[in-house]
Amino acid sequence: MSPAALHPDIPLPTGLAIRYPACRIPSGPSLATCSTPLTATPIPPVRTASPSARKSLLWPKTSSTMSRTPGRSPSTTAFPFDEGLIPYTKFSDYFRTYGRKEPLEPTHQPHGFGWGVPEKNFWDAVEGQRLLDFNVSMQTLDQMLPVIGIYPFEWIAQNADKVSSDAPLIVDVGGGKGQVLAQIRRSVPEIPAKRLVLQDREVTIEDAEASRPPELEGAKFIAHDFFKPQPVKGALVYFFRRIMHDWSDRYNAQILGHCRDVMTPHSRILIMDQVMANPPSTLSAQTDICMMNLGAKDRTAKDWHTLVGLAGLDLVKIWKAPSTEVSVIECKLRSSPSPVL
């Protein structure tokens, strides 16, 4: 039976033809399963999911965990296809061109190569509807990944007196619209909002100001490029969530180095990110390949030790939680004895 006969209410897509292969797959397939036949299916010249294809992405047979969440959007499913499938189909051409080696630069990586813009990094290449899909997908993923329960954030309130009374307690670097910072404050209301700082790109900070969570009333929102010197000095905690996996070690060392330069002996850098097992799980291997698309990677515990050392810091502890590879990597200034708290 044809897809049209099975689902007459959904028009045949004119972009990526996802619905047809999905009909051939048993119930409950993942996006990875659906993408397998797609890689062998001719892709039309229109190389993004068209409006009709975006509607078909919500059909339950093609639903991923993200698209089954409450308030799901076709963006959460269109994003992996647009930004993943197209580069994947060009892997053989990419590695034939650049050699069989790990992509380490934000440009001339598989994503840009696949889209025909090798000179652009991911952040410059994605715009319009694709950028909207990315933002919606990341917000959905933020809701799925744990924040509370891995690191004891009450430590921050308990040690507020270890830094100057006017110094921030948390600087959330690349913190988006502040949703994670708001979660931390809900969990530890003793942390005053006026001692919180949210940093991100100017356009993101403008959006954050327009939708400021009540928990962050009084917090400072600052537009900042984390490849430039850190303007907030002497904070107790510099916090990075899901930032490091977007960049190779060389670029992460620059990002962390700017915070290292303004830390006190009592300051900490907290990196909330994935710590892969070795050998990795199937999901970890999949996400690592996704990050390779951008010239970045996920990391094992050994990799994190290497990166932290490269940035001139000491790794204090990797905080882990059961049933997830999301961890918190705690760092301090190198060669400074850990303060007695």
Per-domain boundaries in the chain: 3-144, 154-333
- Is pLDDT at 74 greater than 70 in this prediction? no
Q: Using the predicted structure, report yes or no on whether residue 228 has a pLDDT greater than 60.
A: yes
Neighbours of 318 (CB within 10 A): 14
Instruction: Convert the pLDDT of each residue in 129-156 to its tens digit.
Output: 887 787 777 777 777 788 999 999 999 9
* Residue 44 pLDDT: 41
Confidence of residue 75 (pLDDT cuts 50, 70, 90): low
- Average pLDDT value over all residues in the chain: 81
Confidence of residue 201 (pLDDT cuts 50, 70, 90): very high
Q: How far apart are CA 217 and CA 196, in angstroms?
A: 10
pLDDT above 60 for 96: yes
- Give every CB contact of residue 79 below 8 A, 6+ residues apart in sequence: 130, 133, 134, 136, 137
Q: Tell me what percent of the residues of the chain surpass a pLDDT of 70.
A: 76
pLDDT over threshold 80, residue 22 = no
pLDDT of residue 90 exceeding 80, the answer is yes
Told to judge if 245 belongs to the known catalytic residues of this protein, a careful annotator would answer: yes
How confident is the model over 270-285, as pLDDT tens digits?
Answer: 999 999 998 988 888 8
Cα gap 152→48, rounded to integer Å: 43
pLDDT in the model for residue 107: 93
d(C-alpha 15, C-alpha 324), whole Å: 35
d(CA 270, CA 266): 13
225 pLDDT more than 50: yes
Other CB atoms within a 10 A radius of the CB of residue 86 amount to: 20
pLDDT band at 200 (very low <50, low <70, confident <90, very high): very high
User: Which of the following is catalytic: 224, 245, 258, 266?
Assistant: 245
Give the pLDDT score at 77. Answer: 64
Side-chain half-sphere CA neighbours of 110 within 13 A: 27
pLDDT value of residue 117? 94
- 305 or 45: which leads in pLDDT: 305
Who contacts 46 (Cβ-Cβ below 8 Å, separation ≥6)?
Answer: 14, 15
Contact yes or no for 185/193 (Cβ under 8 A) = yes
- Which comes out higher in pLDDT, residue 35 or 223? 223
List, for residues 304-333, the tens digit of each pLDDT value: 999 999 999 999 999 998 888 999 999 999
Q: Hey, what CATH topology would domain 154-333 get?
A: Rossmann fold (3.40.50)
**When comparing pLDDT for 34 and 51, which is higher?**
51
How high is the pLDDT of residue 336? 55
Kindly give, in sequence order, each residue whose CB lies less than 8 Å from that of residue 170, ignoring residues fewer than 6 positions away.
Answer: 156, 181, 184, 191, 195, 196, 197, 235, 236, 237, 239
